[in-house]
Amino acid sequence: MLNDAKIKNADELEFAVFCIENIAIKLEKNAEKIYQVLTETSNILNGYIIPEYEMLHTQSKEYIVDDIISLMEERGIRL
pLDDT tens digits along 10-33: 999 999 999 999 999 999 999 999
**11-16: which pairs have CB atoms within 8 A and are 24 or more residues apart?**
11/53, 11/57, 12/50, 12/53, 15/49, 15/53, 15/56, 15/57, 16/45, 16/49, 16/50
**Whole-number Å distance between alpha carbons of 37 and 45:** 9
pLDDT at residue number 5? 80
pLDDT at residue number 79? 84
Q: What is the mean pLDDT of residues 45-68?
A: 96
Arithmetic mean of pLDDT over the chain: 94
Q: Tell me how long the chain is.
A: 79
Q: How many Å separate Cα 46 from the centre of its chain?
A: 9
Per residue in 32-43, pLDDT (tens digit) is: 999 999 999 999
pLDDT band at 3 (very low <50, low <70, confident <90, very high): low
